[in-house]
Amino acid sequence: MLIGMLLPMLVAAQTDQLWLANQPKESGWCNLYSDLSKKDLTEQVIEKELAQYFASVNRVKVASDKVANVRIFIDKDKTDHLGAEGFKIRRAYPIDIVAETPAGALYGVYAYLRMMRLGVEIPESLVERPAFQVRILNHWDNPDGSVERGYAGRSIWFADGKINFRSDIETYARANASVGINGTVIDNVNADPKVLSSEMLNDIKTVADRLRPYNIKVYLAVNFSSPAALGGLKTSDPLDKDVIDWWQKKVDEIYTLIPDFGGFLVKANSEGLPGPMDFGRTHADGANMLAKALKPHNGIVMWRAFVYNPQGGDRAKQAYYEFMPLDGKFDDNVIIQIKNGPVDFQPREPFSPLFGAMKNTQTMAELQITQEYLGYSDHLCYLGTMWKEFMDYPSFHDGKSVIETTLNQKLTAFSAVANTGTMKNWCGYVMAQSNWYAFGRLAWNPNLSARAIAKEWVMQTITKDEKAVNTICDIMMQSREAVTDYMTPLGLHHLMGWSDHWGPEPWTDIPGAREDWLPRYYHKADKIGLGFNRSSKNGGSNAVEQYQEPLRTMYDDPQLCPKELVLWFHHLPWDYYFNDGKTLWQSLNDHYNGGVEQVIKFQKTWQSLKGSVPESIFKEVESKLQVQLDEAQWWRDGCMLYFQTFSNMPLSFTPKYTLEQCKAKLRTKAYVDRQKD
Ligand code: BDP
């Protein structure tokens, strides 16, 4: 068979189909061998996918001598130990895709079709099993149809207090299955107790039914005070017998409707949400109570470590303080969901010190696909590089990388906050689709490189022209660093607007607001210098002590600390000299202006692609880059002019805006409207 023989160079721009628009067509036929009943829904999806590719697909019960181009075997009795979701592809004539379950075969078929689309030669023998058992999207969608931190329209699941999913939800399911995502939490972690009402659950069943054929399980984020708020009980104390009974009955009700329901995601005692600590209990008491109700049904609890309810002190240290004493106290169907960094999805953070530290507790990472702190769906910011930086970082716990500390557990999982919405193209920007794709691919195989994933995505979504593919990948690979440079270089963080997290607002002062919601809490600019002293010296918060040696010593010393994190851990004088011979002030100038220069370069490079990418995508990226450039300049000028009021040192670039204009920009109508989109 000729591989990739019918691949057009320029792919059609149907971005509403995500990375699945450009199906090649093969003239051969395919046999699907299975002893399962024809009614198996996943097998029906497999047939449908194959039928789009092959001229004909035959469903056969036993191997016949009639040879097809591709044969799919679903055989429970195979001895390859492929597991519930693994598959094997053998290149011979014909090509065989072997799995023990329909789900495994589904992933095998998607892998095969991807290779066909990419024009990759099928390896002689390829065995794949997913790295994580649970590969899951967290939607921050509210029953009223709004999306917390959503920049692509309204909710794809809810409207007006009810389930109302996108009519093309199959595209969502296909896209997820094609990269191996097998779970979805459809509602916001700031959970509305209403999601557990019987009426809502009946409707959520319809979502589960639509996703099940694609091997995607539904999970719910739940509000810890549901027994009181929804059930009318006097308390939601996790050790109260009536409360335990209430959850038990609720869980049983869910499983009657949705037999393969995945479980709960819980944000408790964080940012004002209720939790077990309201009743003098611990996170473990709360999580285990729910876990016991779910256990007989094989459900799990993902309990979040994003606890943010500071009593003063350094917010970056809180999760570690709250969770370390509970190490070993969680049931085996509980997993602690930890954000990649210790604060909150910033353009760059060190990894959360909880990874690897809890030796007897199952942990999982939570990433953020939606660009809450990264320019919304307006800035080109490929996150594959950021996630790999986090995942591959040595934790110095038992010689493991950060992500390896979450493997080799009885239960393993990997999650990210989704960037979907009702906009036709799902993500509000074609380039933002790449981050959804990258998350799925990394959840399946954390060893893939950021560039390899970018390349796959570009070739399936934008173009197969080799030069153009490389050019676009170059832009993507540099994009996150550019954003970090013009927003928060050198370990700065949380300089964004105090509630919308959008533009630069290092100056913001909201009378009555909590100090740790204000940017100045994080940057601590003063006459002397800039940065948060988290070292063990000079009155620092000593957050460094939460890291394993040699990281502790390294982060504790500004000369040893990686420069890109230095202001995370240190408050340095404006004229502080780094090893590279530059002062802090000069370095800030160079990074802030360098980020802007990089966007200008992206624009020039993008212009060179005219004609080699579909016109609609060309125009979309062209106009978004213009917005990005303007906002990059705004960020650079706002931050540097503000810092200058403390440093009194000269800028080494010519700003586009004055400080007053930067402040005013936040309130101009065009900007406010964009932010609402
Ligand atoms: C922050 C968001 C906030 C979320 C919170 C969380 O600003 O909207 O509710 O994280 O993860 O990033 O719970």
Whether residue 139 sits in one domain with residue 123? no
**248 token code pair:** 């038990």
Q: Is the CB of 349 under 6 A from ligand 1?
A: no
Identified catalytic residue from 141, 322, 372, 631: 372
Q: For residue 367, is it within any domain?
A: yes
Give mean pLDDT, residues 125-144.
98
Confidence band, pLDDT 50/70/90 cuts, at residue 31 = confident
Q: For residue 381, is it within any domain?
A: yes
pLDDT digits (tens, 9 = 90+) for 323-360: 999 999 999 999 999 999 999 999 999 999 999 999 99
With CA atoms as reference, report the closest residue to 632 among 602, 607, 601, 595.
Answer: 595
Phi, psi of 89 (to 5 degrees): -120, 130
Whether residue 209 sits in one domain with residue 96? no
Whether residue 153 sits in one domain with residue 177? yes
Q: For residue 555, is it within any domain?
A: no
Distances (CA, A) of 654 to 178, 214, 583, 644: 47, 54, 19, 13
Determine whether 505 is an active site residue.
no
pLDDT digits (tens, 9 = 90+) for 516-546: 788 999 999 999 999 999 999 999 999 999 9
Ligand 1: centre distance to CA 635 (Å): 22
Strands in 229-273 per DSSP E: 263-266
CA torsion sign for 321, 558, 596, 640 is positive
For residue 122, give its domain range: 15-128
User: How far apart (Å, rounded) are the C-alpha atoms in residues 360 and 340?
Assistant: 19
**601 token code pair:** 């370069």
Number of domains, the chain: 3
* Atom number, ligand 1, closest to the C-alpha of residue 339: 11
Whether residue 163 sits in one domain with residue 262? yes
**What are the residue ranges of helices labelled H in 296-380?**
318-323
Determine whether 271 is an active site residue.
yes
Q: CATH no. for residue 500?
A: 3.90.1330.10
Q: 461: which strand partners?
A: none
Determine whether 580 is an active site residue.
no
Give mean pLDDT, residues 305-327.
88
Identified catalytic residue from 49, 344, 485, 631: 344
Whether residue 244 sits in one domain with residue 121? no
Ligand 1: centre distance to CA 576 (Å): 34
Torsion-angle region of residue 501: left (phi > 0), alpha (psi -120 to 50) or beta? Answer: left
SS3 state at 149: coil
Q: CATH no. for residue 117?
A: 3.30.379.10
Ligand 1: centre distance to CA 444 (Å): 25
Ligand 1: centre distance to CA 203 (Å): 26
Whether residue 69 sits in one domain with residue 166? no
What is the share, in percent, of the chain residues with pLDDT greater than 90?
83
* Atom number, ligand 1, closest to the C-alpha of residue 188: 9
Ligand 1: centre distance to CA 376 (Å): 14
Q: Is the CB of 146 under 6 A from ligand 1?
A: no
Whether residue 170 sits in one domain with residue 71? no
Whether residue 69 sits in one domain with residue 182? no
Identified catalytic residue from 35, 199, 252, 271: 271
Strands in 267-351 per DSSP E: 300-304, 334-339
pLDDT digits (tens, 9 = 90+) for 252-301: 999 999 999 999 999 999 999 999 999 999 999 999 999 999 999 999 99
SS3 content of the chain, % helix, strand, coil (to 5): 40, 15, 45
Q: CATH no. for residue 245?
A: 3.20.20.80
Whether residue 174 sits in one domain with residue 58? no
User: How far apart (Å, rounded) are the C-alpha atoms in residues 526 and 516?
Assistant: 17
Whether residue 168 sits in one domain with residue 282? yes
Given a contact cutoff of 8 angstroms between Cβ atoms, the answer to whether 197 and 168 are in contact is no
Whether residue 400 sits in one domain with residue 300? yes
With CA atoms as reference, report the closest residue to 494 among 480, 473, 508.
Answer: 508
Element (H, E) at 174: helix 169-179
Q: For residue 9, is it within any domain?
A: no
Gyration radius of the chain's alpha carbons: 25
With CA atoms as reference, report the closest residue to 441 among 103, 98, 79, 107.
Answer: 107
